[in-house]
Amino acid sequence: MYRKKVISAIAAAATLGMLVAGCANQTAPSGTETTGGGGRINIPAISKVDVPAGAVLPAGDGKGTCPSTTTLAYAGAETGPNAQLGINIFNGIQLAINQHNTANPGCQVQFKKFDTEGDPNKATGPVTQIVSESDIIGVVGLPFSGESKATGNIFEQKGLVHITPSATNPSLTKNGWTTFFRALGNDAVQGPAAAKFLTDKLQAKKVYLVQDDSDYGIGLGTTTSAALGSAMVGSDKVVTGQKDFSAVISKIMNAKADTVYYAGYYAEGAPFDQQLVGKGFTGSFVGPDGVKDDQFIKQAGDASSNSYFTCPCIPGELIPSFESEYKKLANAEPGTYSIEGYDAATVLLSGIDKGKQSRADLLSWVKSYDADGLSKHYKWDATGELATPDVYGYKVENGKIVPIGVIGK
pLDDT in tens, 323-382: 999 999 999 999 999 999 999 999 999 999 999 999 999 999 999 999 999 999 999 999
Longest CA–CA span in the chain (Å) reads 71
Q: Rounded CA gap, 288 and 266, in Å?
A: 9
Q: Rounded CA gap, 395 and 318, in Å?
A: 15
With contact defined as beta carbons under 8 Å apart, do 392 and 311 qualify? Answer: yes
CA atoms within 13 A on the CB side of 208: 24
pLDDT tens for 58-106 read 999 999 999 999 999 999 999 999 999 999 999 999 999 999 999 999 9
With contact defined as beta carbons under 8 Å apart, do 88 and 153 qualify? Answer: no
With contact defined as beta carbons under 8 Å apart, do 182 and 384 qualify? Answer: yes
SS3 214: coil
Please state the pTM of the whole predicted model. 0.86
